[in-house]
Every structure is written in structure tokens, then in C-alpha cells.
Homo-oligomer: A and B are copies of this chain.
């Protein structure tokens, strides 16, 4: 019994034209590099991508934009990508902007079978337009609905063949949430470790959320804003 696959190409073939794909990562940190490259290679079209950001023009999800594979983007911040701007302005790309905390919570809700929730975030802003409002002890909230994906792509640090995952530092970000909300979750890891090597108390993503597990051959891990101090 193993969830280890050796071909990104085969795993990614689970994604079909028109699918909704939830992708982990924050900026370029913790993105499923190899899965995104394989998806760009595969050329699947008309995708709805759910991800906090949309990569740079030449890396991460930006590669799918370049290929015109994305028809709709659900994100909280997309300001670092010129290709995005072009496709949005010419009407090729539909965009749903969601406050970051609401986006995280909607994905979590999708994975957790919560169908909708009330949050004060966005009340009185354009985000609240057309949404159901409700008062809770004097706090006005809006109803936000769960997000689920046909497929989720996540990237972890360590993983075992059952599909247990552990993330490293801030590369955790949206990855554990995405892992829960895909009907089919494809996890790529830096290192495949033996069953039992992950401490059961410290597993971030329990095995049952993962369908395919792949070890990436290389990780570029590009840094978006290299910032240093004087030694």
C-alpha cells in the first residue's frame, strides 16, 4: 500500500480542461514547483485556479498564465505579475479577489465539510456586495461559501508513502488547507522518508488527505524579495 507515484505527468493527468485546481504556496514560497511545470507541459485549458497569489510572469502559476491555461483566478493578491494584468485587462482572465483570511477559511471549510460561514471581514467594502448579511451580538457579518477543488497541488518538506506530510517554516502557508479541499490531492515533497520516521504528534497533513505523493527531483525555491541586513 503506497501512494508514491513516479510520474508527475501521470498524476497531473487527473486534471482535466475546465477543472478547479487549488494550489498551495504564498508568493513563491512553498509552491508545488514540479507539479506546476508538469501542468504547464500538459497544457490543460480553461482552469479555475485557487491560490493566494499567481506567481511571477516566468515562474510558478505565471507559467500557466503565459500558456493561457487559466480562465479564472481566485486569489487575495495578484500584484506581482505583468502577464496577469494584460490578460485581466483584455478580458481573457476572470478574477475573484478574496481577503486572505477569508480565502484560507473558505478552503479550510471546503475540506472540512462546512458549507458556509459568517465573518466580519469585508463588511462595508466592495467584497460584501450581494452577500447575505447577518448580525451576531451587534457584529455584522457576511456569509462566505466553502471552496473545493477537483484537484489540489501541494508541496511539503517531508512525506511518507502513506501520504503523511510535514512542512517547513513559512512554506506551510496554504498547503495544508489545499491538501484537505481537493477531491484528488497531489503532494510533492522534497524528501520521501520511511514510514514511522515522522513523529505522529507533529504530522501537519495526515495521510488520508493525500492521493498521490511524488518526490521532486530538484527545487529552485526562488526568492521573490531577497532582503538582508548588515552582518
Contact = CB atoms under 8 A, between A and B. Distances in A.
Interface of A: 105, 109, 112-120, 134, 136, 139, 141, 145-146, 166-169, 172, 199-202
Contacts of A119: 113-115
A120 B167 CA distance: 31
Contacts of A202: 199, 201-202
A12 B138 CA distance: 30
A149 to B, nearest CB: 15
Contacts of A116: 117-118, 134, 136, 141
A167 to B, nearest CB: 7
Contacts of A109: 117
A14 B200 CA distance: 35
Contacts of A168: 201
The 8 closest A-B pairs by CB, nearest first: A115-B136, A202-B202, A117-B117, A116-B118, A115-B118, A115-B141, A114-B117, A114-B119
Nearest to A203: B202
A201 B166 contact: yes
Contacts of A166: 201
A67 to B, nearest CB: 31
Given A116-B134, A201-B202, 19 more contacts: A109-B117, A113-B119, A113-B120, A114-B117, A114-B118, A115-B118, A115-B120, A115-B134, A115-B141, A116-B117, A116-B141, A117-B117, A117-B118, A136-B146, A166-B201, A167-B201, A168-B201, A199-B202, A202-B202
